[in-house]
Amino acid sequence: MAAIRRRRSPEMVTEYADDVGLFKTRGFQIGMLLLLVAYLAVPNTLDDFWIGVLNYCAFFAIGGIGLNLLTGYTGQVSLGHAFFVGVGAYSAAWFGGQQGWPMLLWLPMAALIGGALGALIGPVALRLHGNYLAIVTLGLLFLGEHIFIEWDSVTGGSRGTQVDASLAVGPLDFTALELFGTTFSREQGVFWLLWAVVGICALIAKNVVRTRPGRAMQAIRDRDVAAEVVGVSLVRYKVGAFAISSAMAAVAGAFYGAAIQRYVSPVEFGGTFGLILSITFVAVIIVGGMGTVFGSILGALVVGALPRIIQEYSGDIPFLQTSPTSDGILSVASFNNMLFGALIIVFLLVEPRGLAALWLRAKAWFKFWPFSY
């Protein structure tokens, strides 16, 4: 039996441990190696604009992975993701900027505060489902906007606040990275930092969903009453999903404030703009694929990159207004919002499992070629 196990194809799954393995096929291992090479090489081959676009995508990828755990794997609809992003941004501003904490302290603190607030919202999911839960989480945006504006000593009030948090880990300062006698730009250093965090979040999420908690979350998503009957604790796993999702949203917000924008204001995370940001995160997991970790990253690459690219090349698109006095029928922001709405509609109607499903179908086609059908 041991000899058969050694000789069999890595595609042949005979044990449950093989089925849930992280790096179970040779092709997957090669793919991971290529991604590592791309991670190291991309900042040295692209200019700062495109690296900045990828950094923005990383922000959406971190928050998207968290929302996918909550919505894609546990079936809990949330429109309040922007509130937790704001909590993370202001945590970075306060602990990292005003208190001068190093990144290894302010980043876990931002995740801890976001996760704790998410755990407080979790029990609401025990009594509400679907649209009702979405409306309750929507209320977080308006409650959060009020708190962000009124808590002036921490948030800077309606004016907002500068985020001067350190992005250094020991001797490595990612804003002025120097390695082997070479000095790298801020955008290059932030790229390596953010995409390393994306990889860590993806690894955490993958380990959650392939183990007992992940199976329990998917059982709750598919039929929560039946899951409870067979012994799955709705309290533990719904609250846990909210906590993990909110912690990742807070981490994304912390980097949004400290590494990308470096200035945050309440209107970005509450009210109408907060709702747009929350819907953008929903678009990330719908376009990428709900219920898949790598789908969150694919969706972030599309949804996160499009606004920046459209803004950069808006002068070449005739119907867009590049300034208040220019010709055109749509502003860039309005066009982006319409585009996200259209993407959500198209993917829900044509391919509800998103880009991840297209990738899996393409992979299966080549895997079984020439007998694919």
Could you write out the three-class secondary structure of the chain? CHHHHHHCCCCCCCCHHHHCCCCCCHHHHHHHHHHHHHHHHHHHHCCHHHHHHHHHHHHHHHHHHHHHHHHHHCCCCCCCHHHHHHHHHHHHHHHHHHCCCCHHHHHHHHHHHHHHHHHHHCCHHHHCCHHHHHHHHHHHHHHHHHHHHHCHHHHCHHHCEECCCCCEECCEECCCCEECCEECCHHHHHHHHHHHHHHHHHHHHHHHHCCHHHHHHHHHHHHHHHHHHCCCCHHHHHHHHHHHHHHHHHHHHHHHHHHHHCEECHHHCCHHHHHHHHHHHHHHHHHHCCCCHHHHHHHHHHHHHHHHHHHHCHHHCCCEECCCCCCCCEEHHHHHHHHHHHHHHHHHHHCCCHHHHHHHHHHHHHHHCCCCC
Name the residue type at position 341.
Answer: G
Q: What is the pLDDT of residue 9?
A: 56
Distance of CA 358 to the CA centre of its chain: 20
Q: What is the pLDDT of residue 8?
A: 55
Cis peptide before 370 (omega within 30 of 0): yes
| d(C-alpha 105, C-alpha 366), whole Å | 46
Q: What is the pLDDT of residue 328?
A: 74
Q: What is the pLDDT of residue 156?
A: 86
pLDDT, tens digit, 9 for 90 and up, residues 305-331: 988 888 888 777 777 777 767 777 778
57 is written with which tokens?
Answer: 């995508």
**Is there a contact between 344 and 355 (Cβ–Cβ < 8 Å)?**
no
Q: What is the pLDDT of residue 38?
A: 93
CA angle 43, 49, 52 (to 5 degrees): 65
Residues of the chain with pLDDT under 50: 1
